[in-house]
């Protein structure tokens, strides 16, 4: 895939920078809050960024949401913390993409992270027409959007796309899938 996906706006995953998602306009929500209209129809949220995006825009019935490896179903803080540790110590975790290798900024955003982890994503999704929601899950995500999550998403009746060869982190295959959805 070449070039930016112009009609989508991305909210990055936990402590990721928008520059790590080369094909999107977006907001560095882990640096500052977004307080403006984004002017596009498609909102893409990755991981915890999906929760942030839904909190900001769930009342806008004109938006279409593409949630990539969202944190569903709701789990306790301790469960999410254990899953996070599992990710941090996996081969999939790339420290160089987390604020250029500095985890110091994590402490400044810990309250935001905790508040987002407390959100029940499904309650927000119930406010949005199902035809405006697509969930993309990396089949190899063993951390947050795992097989249990996929089953939950299917049971709730959301459009679920399972990307083979993809884990929790972003990949070029996700760009291809999203480009097809936002045509």
* pLDDT one-digit tens code per residue, 94-131: 656 565 545 566 666 778 888 999 999 999 999 999 99
Q: Total domain count for the chain?
A: 1
132-158 pLDDT, tens digit per residue, is 999 999 999 999 999 999 999 999 999
> What is the model's pTM?
0.90
Average predicted confidence (pLDDT) for the chain: 88
110: domain range? 5-181
Q: For residue 96, how many other CB atoms are within 10 A of its CB?
A: 8
CATH number at residue 142: 3.40.50.1820
Of the candidates 87, 140, 101, the one whose C-alpha atom is nearest the C-alpha of residue 17 is 101
Could you give the maximum distance between any two Cα atoms of the chain, in Å? 40
């Amino acid at each position: 895939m070449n070039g930016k996906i112009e009609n989508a706006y991305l909210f990055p995953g936990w402590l990721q920078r928008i520059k790590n998602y080369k094909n999107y306009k977006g907001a560095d929500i882990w640096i500052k809050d977004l307080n403006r209209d984004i002017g596009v129809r498609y909102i893409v949220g990755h991981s915890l960024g999906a929760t942030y995006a839904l909190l900001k825009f769930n009342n806008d019935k004109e938006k279409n949401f593409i949630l990539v490896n969202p944190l569903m179903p709701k789990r306790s803080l301790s469960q999410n913390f254990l899953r996070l540790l599992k990710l941090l110590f996996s081969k999939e975790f790339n420290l160089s993409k987390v604020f250029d290798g500095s985890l110091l900024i994590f402490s400044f955003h810990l309250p935001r992270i905790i508040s987002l982890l407390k959100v029940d994503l499904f309650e927000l999704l119930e406010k949005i027409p199902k035809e405006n929601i697509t969930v993309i899950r990396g089949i190899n995500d063993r951390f947050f959007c795992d097989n249990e999550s996929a089953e939950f998403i299917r049971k709730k009746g959301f459009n679920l796309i399972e990307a083979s060869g993809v884990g929790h982190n972003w990949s070029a295959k996700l760009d291809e899938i999203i480009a097809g959805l936002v045509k």
